[in-house]
Amino acid sequence: MTDKAHKLTQLFECIVRGSEPSRVFNAAGGFLATVEPKDIVEAERKMLDSGYSVSELKRLYPAERQILREQAEKLLKLLPPNHLVYKILSEHQMFLCYLADLEDVNRQIWHSEIVSVAGTEFRKLTQIARSIVMGLDHVHLEDELVFPELERHGYIGTPQILTGEHLSLSLCAEKLMELVVLAENNIIEPDKFKSQLDELATTLISIGREHIFREDSILYPIAVQLIENPKTWERIRALSDEVGYCSM
C-alpha cells in the first residue's frame, strides 16, 4: 500500500467511526487534492482486510463524492466517442435522468388524492420502470468481464461493493415493475401502492446515484488505466453489442 493510500485509510476509518467528514477533511489540508481513484480503492481494500464491512464502506460515499468531483467529466474528455467506456458513461447520464424522473413522479403520485392507472403520472411511472429494468439487463457484462479484470490487478474492494449494488438495483427494479402491474390490475389498494412506491423509489434512487458515481468516478478511471490491451475492450464491446450496448 502506498503512503497516500495509507493516510487516506486513516481518514476513512475516522469517518466510519463517526467523525464529521468536514472536520476530517479540514485537518487533512491539501492532501485530498492529491487523491486519485486508485487511492480510494486501495484504502477500501485495506479496510475490508481489516474487518470493516461493505455496509460500513458505503458510509464513505458522501466523502468520496467530495474528493472526486468532476472525475467522470475529466475521463470523458480523455476518451474518443467510440470507446466503450465513453458510451457507458453517457448511458449512465441517461439512467440518472430516469432516476430524476422517478423521483418527480413518485412525489406527484404521493401527493395525489386519486391514483388512476389512466392518468399521466401512472403512465409516466410505467415507462420509467420499464426503462430502468431494461437498463439493468446488462450488469452481467461488468460482473463477468470488467470487474474480474480489475480484481486480477489487485483491485477487490470496490468491485465487491458494486456487484452487491447490481443485485440490489435489479431486485428493486423488479419489485417496482411488479408493483406497477399490481396497480394496473387493481390488485393493490391505492394507499398501499403509494407507500410501497415511495419506499422502492427512495431506495432505488439512493443506490442508483451512489452506484453510478462509484463506477464513473472510481471504477472506470482505474479500468481505463489498467486495461491497456485494446482487444480486451473489443471483447467486452462485442459481448455488449449482442444485447445492445446499454450498461449499468
Which cell is 109 given?
A: 403520485
**pLDDT, tens only, 183-200:** 999 999 999 999 999 999
CB 32 within 8 Å of CB 67? yes
- Which residue, 10, 13, 9, is CA-closest to 56? 13
Q: Please name the residue that has the C-alpha cell 464502506.
A: 57
For domain 73-242, give the CATH number: 1.20.120.520
Tens of pLDDT along 209-223?
999 999 999 999 999
Domain boundaries, the chain: 3-68, 73-242
The model's pTM is 0.88
| pLDDT for position 248 | 45
Distance CA 128, CA 130 (A): 5
pLDDT in tens, 62-104: 899 989 988 888 899 999 888 888 988 988 999 999 999 999 9
Rounded to an integer, what distance in angstroms lies between the CA atom of residue 233 and that of residue 239?
10
